Structure 1
Amino acid sequence: MKKIIIIAATLFLITEGYSQTTLSLQESKDLAIKNNVHIKNSALEMEMAQEVKKNAFTNYFPKVSATAFAMRAMDPIIKFNMPGGNLPVYDGNPANLATATEFAYFPGLNLQLLDRATVGLLNITQPIFVGGKISNGNKLAQLGVDVKEKQQQLSLNETLLKTEQQYWQIVVLQEKEKTIAQYEALLNDVSKQVKDAFKSGLIIKNDALKVQIKQSELRTNKSKLQSGKQLAIRQFCQTIGIVYDSALVLQEDLQNIQLPNTYYTDIEAALPNRAEYQLLQQSVKAEQLQTKMKRGDYMPQLAVGAAGYSFNSYYEGTNTTTNGLVYGTVSIPISDWWGGSHAIKEHKIKEQIAENTFNDTKGLLKLQMEKAWTDVNESYRQIIMMEETVKQTDENLKVMQTSYNSGVVTLSDLLEAQALQTETADKLIEAKTQYQLAISTYLQVTGTSREVKNMR
């Protein structure tokens, strides 16, 4: 039975090991790119812009329209009734008209037309010149595609940054679990020593209670940490588009810390690569094209066309009538020129506003990159200081442990040294995490990939 239990336990542990999901940072990014809803919607918006561009291109081709009309009236639309009778025969002399001696009999006329008819019309129009609105419209459509492409890149960058931030937040919780485990082991050792000393009558019960209180606090903090970790994992799974996995383990750790210079990018070189910078450039171009489009509204428009029609009234003795024609049109909006000049000036002002916004935002983007670089360096300095502090608390704990074993210091002093060592270890983990987050932000605002930088 004992062998069976051992085998069953071993199989359970193996199964648990294989069911555990482990993700690296790059794998998490790949999943986010594949599954994130914002990225999917951004791709669909890109497709929409492509369709708008294709639609604008069709304006270069002739416009063909066909119309068919059929009608049946309750009464004929045209009615004409002329009574019959003897009509004087006119010999050409007006004097004889009133005293005519010869007559011709007219039987009368009752005419009813258009109680039913069908009409077919085909029209083809080819614009020759419409003030450049077709060509500029196509340029605007292409600009719309470019803008959506940059917005798609922005959405991708934001999602990847969010993925990295959530990834490192879970990593820090994993690292804190290790710290808690170490602290728990220290408390268990102290608890064993205290229990032995209490049984031997070397210490009072109050010392044993102090250790129990610390263990109770540790259990509470451990429970809070586990709850926070599970919530963070849920949020992370939502971001990268996978089913929630409570056993998810992230592969990266905080051991290998690269120097800040590894990630440095020249600001002037990075600025043109920013999607925000490129979007501002496109906004200026869009205003310029809008001005040209508005100017086209007040320019002559020339078009040629051809039309054909077919008419059938369905009366006996009549045939279907068909005909065709070619034509040209010239439209000159003379009365609109006065008001149009002000509309064009309005668009020129909008161009200037877009230029001013572009120039101002360039400076803001540079400041953003400079601040991100400052944050990277400051975070790294925090790591250096905390590593030195951790060394000091480790050494302090060793001294306190030796002194307690020798009876030089009290149990409270030892417990305080253990708590201080755990606290500084946690702060070091947080400092390393902030450094990773600062790097992620810096790479995002400089348009650089972490993977490319790590290859240097």
Structure 2
Amino acid sequence: MRKCVLCGVLLLLFGKMVSAQQALSLQECRDLAVKNNKELRIAEEKIRMADYEKKAALTKYFPQISANGAYMWNQKALNLLDMGQLSSSLASSLGGLAQLPVVQQTVGAINDLQHLDIQNVWVGNVALVQPVFMGGKIVTYNQITAYAKELAMSMNDQKLQDLLYKTDETYWQVVSLVNKKKLADAYVELLRKTDEDMAALITEGVATQADGLSVKVKLNEAEMAQTKVNNGLALSRMLLAQLCGLPLTDTLTLADEQLDNFPVEERTTSVDMNQAFMNRNELKSLDLASKIYKKKERIVLADLLPTVAFSANYFVTNPNLFNGYKNDFAGMFNLGVIVRVPITAWWEGSYKRNAARAETRIRQLEWEDAREKIELQVNQSVYKVNEASKKLAASNRNMENAEENLRSANLGFEEGVIPALNLMAAQTAWFSARSTLIDAQIDMKLTQVYLNKALGVDLQENK
């Protein structure tokens, strides 16, 4: 029998893994996740978009200037008089005098005056419109775009914190599975050595075949559990690699894979509920949404109020009629005031305003509901943190007892005073105690992560 079975198991369990890859700390994983996450890039683009829309809304305060131009070709020109009929009338009235050069020149001059060349028509216009009073719509629209930018920034912060907390959660899950793998490997190795020792005892006639089969059953169960842990660890590493923006084929080594010096003090956690209400981005977003819908009520009201605008125009045409009919460019400007008074819009507008008020009340109720849920979530998280602390302390005490029990069982088995079934029971108890301790250690980390998330703690500021 080997007297150092327990020592070998502990060395295998707590030994450091040899890896050529540099171990990633939790903060390094966070930084990689922030750097490579595409959803954060989308959120940043939404902030830029909201900023541009805010700047676009600001331009509504300034005059709107536009220029228009048109060209038209006509098949025929215009003749105001029927020159053939005019010539006939003159001939019948004047007789031979109609052929005099003076009369013919007069008829030609009349023909030139009544002939309007409109085959090529050019029209140009430059218009300026300056809003004077739009029912408050421009001011309200600028306020809405300002809130929309704040909302986009709040949503970006929310996505950032969700990503960081997801990275923390996955990081500690990988650490948990790494230690579960070490434990499973150690337990399988322990059972294999027990199986070898049992085979030797059967050969010597000290143990029975039933004892040997019992060990083999335990070994098979342990190997199946080992396979499940290996698969779970591989998938968890892939998820962490995906969050960090690294190739899924990379085998990540984490700096906190060793749980040797884990704090075990039992403590009671208490929190300030107002901290969560002030920090949670969900409440900030819902509050901004409520303000936006409140301003939309003002937009609906603005559609029911009179509007006043100042206008200035400059027109240019070819041909023009400003000083007779001429085929050249000439223009003029005009100034005016545009007033629009809605009359029948009040009927429809009253319903639209009531609908806008209903939307505002919906957002307010959503805010109140979210506040109640956050309060419940924070209280649940506090209870879980305190429970995890007590569970960790109990697991450490249980682990000490299991190690002492396994040491005594090994000594008794080596001396032949304890049967194989008792040894396997001690091994199983040790395995269960160690597994429970790992769960308790990781629960301490995860419950604190969930509590920080419930409180809205900014992980970027708490590096």
Q: TM-score range by the shorter chain?
A: 0.7 to 0.9
Separation in structure 1 between the aligned mates of residue 298 and residue 224 of structure 2, nearest angstrom:
69
Instruction: State whether residues 260 and 376 of structure 1, in contact with CA within 8 Å, keep that contact through their aligned partners in structure 2.
Output: no
CA deviation after TM superposition for structure 1 residue 277, in Å: 1.2
Aligned: 1:132 with 2:136: yes
- 1:54-203 to structure 2, matched below 5 A, reads 54-76=55-77, 81-82=82-83, 83-85=85-87, 107=107, 109=111, 111=115, 113-203=117-207
CA deviation after TM superposition for structure 1 residue 264, in Å: 4.4
Of 48-57 and 111-120, more deviation after overlay is shown by 111-120
SS of equivalent residue, structure 1 residue 333:
coil
| Equivalent residue number for residue 11 of structure 2 | none
Separation in structure 1 between the aligned mates of residue 264 and residue 291 of structure 2, nearest angstrom:
41
Counterpart among 278, 282, 290 of residue 284 in structure 2: 278
CA deviation after TM superposition for structure 1 residue 176, in Å: 1.1
Structure 1's 18 and 160: CA in aligned 2 closer, same or farther, altered over 3 A?
Answer: same
| Equivalent residue number for residue 438 of structure 2 | 429
| Equivalent residue number for residue 381 of structure 1 | 390
| Equivalent residue number for residue 302 of structure 2 | 296
Separation in structure 1 between the aligned mates of residue 461 and residue 340 of structure 2, nearest angstrom:
59
Separation in structure 2 between the aligned mates of residue 258 and residue 52 of structure 1, nearest angstrom:
53
Separation in structure 2 between the aligned mates of residue 318 and residue 163 of structure 1, nearest angstrom:
77
- 1:217-236 to structure 2, matched below 5 A, reads 217-236=221-240
SS of equivalent residue, structure 1 residue 249:
coil
SS of equivalent residue, structure 2 residue 75:
coil
CA deviation after TM superposition for structure 1 residue 85, in Å: 3.5
The alignment covers a number of residue pairs equal to 430
Structure 1's 306 and 258: CA in aligned 2 closer, same or farther, altered over 3 A?
Answer: farther
Structure 1's 121 and 258: CA in aligned 2 closer, same or farther, altered over 3 A?
Answer: farther
Letter in 2 for 1:383: L
SS of equivalent residue, structure 1 residue 327:
strand
| Equivalent residue number for residue 392 of structure 1 | 401
Separation in structure 2 between the aligned mates of residue 20 and residue 237 of structure 1, nearest angstrom:
14
- Structure 1 gaps of 5+ residues are 1-15, 89-98
| Equivalent residue number for residue 242 of structure 1 | 246
Structure 1's 422 and 441: CA in aligned 2 closer, same or farther, altered over 3 A?
Answer: same
| Equivalent residue number for residue 306 of structure 1 | 312
* Alignment deviations for residues 111-132 of structure 1 (CA, whole Å, 9 cap, x no partner): 4542221111110111111011
Separation in structure 2 between the aligned mates of residue 394 and residue 217 of structure 1, nearest angstrom:
21
| Equivalent residue number for residue 409 of structure 1 | 418
Structure-2-length-normalised TM-score: 0.83
| Equivalent residue number for residue 95 of structure 1 | none
| Equivalent residue number for residue 3 of structure 1 | none
| Equivalent residue number for residue 14 of structure 2 | none
Letter in 2 for 1:278: K
SS of equivalent residue, structure 1 residue 159:
helix
Structure-1-length-normalised TM-score: 0.84
Separation in structure 2 between the aligned mates of residue 269 and residue 231 of structure 1, nearest angstrom:
36
* Alignment deviations for residues 267-298 of structure 1 (CA, whole Å, 9 cap, x no partner): 12331111111112112211221111111111
SS of equivalent residue, structure 2 residue 71:
strand
- Structure 2 gaps of 5+ residues are 1-16
| Equivalent residue number for residue 456 of structure 2 | 447
CA deviation after TM superposition for structure 1 residue 231, in Å: 1.4
Structure 1's 424 and 336: CA in aligned 2 closer, same or farther, altered over 3 A?
Answer: same
Separation in structure 2 between the aligned mates of residue 260 and residue 413 of structure 1, nearest angstrom:
33
Separation in structure 2 between the aligned mates of residue 233 and residue 256 of structure 1, nearest angstrom:
22
CA deviation after TM superposition for structure 1 residue 101, in Å: 12
CA deviation after TM superposition for structure 1 residue 386, in Å: 2.4
Structure 1's 311 and 258: CA in aligned 2 closer, same or farther, altered over 3 A?
Answer: farther
Separation in structure 2 between the aligned mates of residue 451 and residue 49 of structure 1, nearest angstrom:
24
Separation in structure 1 between the aligned mates of residue 447 and residue 344 of structure 2, nearest angstrom:
61
Identity rate, percent? 24
